[in-house]
């Protein structure tokens, strides 16, 4: 029987951006903005794995970044982070 991959065995492929559809960039949908606290992050990649919009990237040195043009504020990352390294703040579009 083949062994299931762990999340860290999946390649960190660059996020593919959704095409600009009628709804435009999903970043404008947010009520809450997820904010990563890098001091708490343990690099588990769960946020990257579960983000439905490919809005999270992880750089070669393990730094988690959120692309706010495409993050729609669903907060799945906030709920999945096992060490509460992602905060949610009320969005204030400038």
Q: Which stretch binds ligand SF4 (CB under 6 A): 7-15, 17-25, 75-83?
A: 75-83
Q: Does 42 bind ligand SF4 (CB under 6 A)?
A: yes
Size of the site for ligand SF4 (CB under 6 A): 27
> Cβ neighbours of residue 71 under 8 Å, at least 6 residues apart?
26, 27, 30, 33, 34, 51, 53, 55, 56
DSSP letter (8 states) at residue 17:
P
Q: Which stretch binds ligand SF4 (CB under 6 A): 4-12, 15-23, 43-51?
A: 43-51
- Given 15, 57, 76, 91, the residue binding ligand SF4 (CB under 6 A): 76
């Amino acid at each position: 029987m083949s062994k299931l991959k762990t999340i860290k065995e999946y390649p960190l492929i660059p996020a593919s951006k959704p095409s600009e559809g009628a709804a435009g960039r999903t970043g404008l949908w947010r009520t809450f903005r997820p904010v990563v606290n890098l001091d708490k992050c343990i690099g588990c990649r769960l946020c990257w794995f579960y983000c439905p919009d490919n809005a999270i990237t992880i750089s070669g040195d393990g730094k988690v970044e959120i692309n706010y043009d495409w993050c729609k504020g669903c907060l799945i990352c906030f709920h999945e982070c096992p060490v509460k390294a992602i905060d949610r703040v009320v969005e204030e579009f400038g």
